[in-house]
Structure 1
Amino acid sequence: MSPDIPHGGNLTAARARFPEARSPWLDLSTGISPFPYPVPALPAEAFTRLPEPADLERLQALAARRYGARDPAQVVAAPGTQILLPLIAKLVPQGRARVLGPTYAEHARAAALAGHALAEEGAADLLTIVNPNNPDGRFRPRAELLAARPAQGLLVVDEAFMEAAPADESLAGAVDERLVVLRSFGKFHGLAGLRLGFAITAAPLARRLRDALGPWAVSGPALAVGLAALADEAWASAMRARLAAAAAALDGVLTAGGCRVLGGTSLFRLAEVPPGTFERLGRAGILVRGFDYWPDRLRFGLPPDAAGLERLAEALA
């Protein structure tokens, strides 16, 4: 029985599918860090006033520094990278779009919404590559990606999980009018509900994206938290080490439970699993990410603590 929950994090669908499951649920279905950035106390003005343009400029400058962009004018802040996908797809005239996969399905959906014809191979006017890839963690070297830029089109590189990868492999510092890089804030900082993400591209394309988003695209609370978190390099460095250790511990539990780890990043692991594992975990109140096209594979997010690891180990045993 293949999983029929198309995205991670949908506990409502999981409860409907497994009504007798153990409670509370342990949600391992996303690649979101279970160790969130400590949200500072927010001033009332973050909620009561319209966001200040100067704060948005400061946020984009901090994002440029964190992600390695050459100029803050190349950085576009948005309420999550998801909302940027169809806007980016409209930066090029309607033509052929190709998404290297299997990968995050929303890229293909956004390209189709923008009027592009989806192609499985060959040249494309809009080429999208997720690096490191979701869900298998495949990593493509910087030189390979730069060589893949369409001559007359646009290469979109989704670096949603690059924060936990080698910083010098990011393409954020190499953007031009044929390259857009996406960076997620919520996954690494464990604050997906905040809805904050960035596009990095040549300044003229960045202006077009900002115009499409309109004023006040990023909320006051998201600005306040983003300003604090992106300035906190000590926390980011310590979190990279913590995530690597947590991923190694998860690998140990998966292997002991009869699964074969195939890849992933320090935010998620992809494993080959025995038949029926998705259903067995669901009945135990543990939600993981399954795939119709890979019935023998599951993606596991990081448990938040030792108790979560032990609960997963018991369910796999």
Structure 2
Amino acid sequence: MKEQGMREHGGNLDLAQQRFGGRAEDWIDLSTGINRLPYPVGELDAHHWQALPSRSEIDALHQAAGHAYRTSAPLVAMGGAQAAIQLLPQLAPRGRARILAPTYNEYAPVLSAAGWEVEEVRALDSLAGANLAIVVNPNNPDGRRYAPKDLLALLPRVGRLVIDESFADAVPELSLASETRRPGLLILRSFGKFYGLAGLRLGFAIGHAADIGKLTAASGPWPVSGAAIAIGCRALRDDAWAEATSARLARDCVRLDEMAQSQGWRLVGGAPLFRLYETPDALAAQEKLARGQIWSRAFAQKPTWLRLGLPGAEAEWSRLAEVLAR
């Protein structure tokens, strides 16, 4: 039985262990879109664990994020993109929200719980007229992409446009972060996915000064930890690592697609950190992988869809190939 308030997500490795056994360290968790070859954190000074983050340290993190996301617009660090999603209802009086679906499943319940009228639509143009419009770009779970010019054309037709760019790090040409001084445009970014450090709980909201001011006030004086600040500053300024990682992910997408094709699975779409496949029976495919202690993501509403993150080390690729060949 699901706990109250919990929704279907990847990363539920405890469920895989309950059903198929094994220790967490025995499993390859491909149920999420988190980089399996994370940024090398290195040593952290004890100060980052012991002292409250200072204003200057938080400012340094904001500057590093502006560098990585190629923007000079106001932004605020938060405990993951999810923390920003939780605060979206506070940006404006309750009204009509439209979400381009199917997509990440936290937006609708958060807004509904706050009294918003929520409608899921299937086309970009159908967002027009909403007080709050939400687009995930690239989309999760099918990887649909929307051209920046088309999103900017939508902006005057909605009260506020929120674009979730949690999977955009490796496709920076999709990002509208540099355009967020425009009133009504808000960008959400996730740090943990591309940098492979989801447990750090770090993300950013980028937007017009008025919106960022509200989110900053609602987040409190210490929205992220000292460790998150130190690691974030390091990683977000490491352009060489980001470029090499983006190139590797592009190659690995092709590699995984070829392995899936050998199973007769059809590519539905994907982003540089995950792929979505049409299978004859996703639960059967998930169980086959789980017997080899590889966890994937199936979808209750789409019984033929199976989503896989990209393996990391070569040993993970070898095990995946072995399990698929059985």
TM-score range, shorter chain: over 0.9
**Aligned counterpart, 1:102:** 102
Q: Which runs of 4+ in 1 moved over 2 A?
A: 17-23, 120-123, 149-152, 313-317
**Aligned counterpart, 1:93:** 93
Aligned length: 311
- With the length of structure 2 as denominator, give the TM-score of the two structures: 0.91
Cα distance in 2 for residues equivalent to 1:23 and 1:206: 39
CA displacement at 1:149 relative to structure 2? 2.2
**Aligned counterpart, 2:77:** 77
Cα distance in 2 for residues equivalent to 1:88 and 1:75: 15
- Report which stretch shifted further, 118-127 or 83-92: 118-127
**C-alpha contact (below 8 Å) 1:27/1:288 kept by paired residues:** yes
Corresponding residue SS for 1:110 = helix
1:42 partnered with 2:44: yes
Unpaired runs of at least 5, structure 2: 1-5
- Label 1:41 to 1:21 Cα distance change in 2 as closer, same or farther (>3 A): closer
1:92-121 per-residue CA deviation (whole Å, 9 max, x = no partner) reads: 211111111111101112212332111134
Cα distance in 2 for residues equivalent to 1:65 and 1:25: 35
Cα distance in 2 for residues equivalent to 1:261 and 1:309: 19
**Aligned counterpart, 1:282:** 290
**C-alpha contact (below 8 Å) 2:49/2:226 kept by paired residues:** yes
> What letter is aligned with 2:294?
I
Q: 1:105-116 to 2 correspondence within 5 Å?
A: 105-116=105-116
CA displacement at 1:13 relative to structure 2? 1.4
CA displacement at 1:86 relative to structure 2? 2.3
1:240 to 243, 246, 257: 246
1:310 to 311, 318, 322: 318
- Label 1:280 to 1:23 Cα distance change in 2 as closer, same or farther (>3 A): farther
TM-align CA RMSD: 1.9
**Aligned counterpart, 2:142:** 136
Unpaired runs of at least 5, structure 1: none
Cα distance in 2 for residues equivalent to 1:238 and 1:20: 33
Cα distance in 2 for residues equivalent to 1:234 and 1:19: 39
CA displacement at 1:20 relative to structure 2? 7.4
Corresponding residue SS for 1:187 = coil
1:185 to 183, 186, 191: 191
**Aligned counterpart, 2:18:** 16
Q: What fraction of aligned residue pairs are identical, expressed as a percent?
A: 46
Cα distance in 2 for residues equivalent to 1:5 and 1:108: 11
CA displacement at 1:206 relative to structure 2? 0.5
Cα distance in 2 for residues equivalent to 1:76 and 1:309: 37
1:172 partnered with 2:177: yes
Cα distance in 1 for residues equivalent to 2:229 and 2:7: 32
- Report which stretch shifted further, 15-24 or 38-47: 15-24
Cα distance in 2 for residues equivalent to 1:190 and 1:69: 22
> What letter is aligned with 1:158?
D
**C-alpha contact (below 8 Å) 1:22/1:284 kept by paired residues:** no
- Label 1:23 to 1:316 Cα distance change in 2 as closer, same or farther (>3 A): farther
- Report which stretch shifted further, 223-232 or 117-126: 117-126
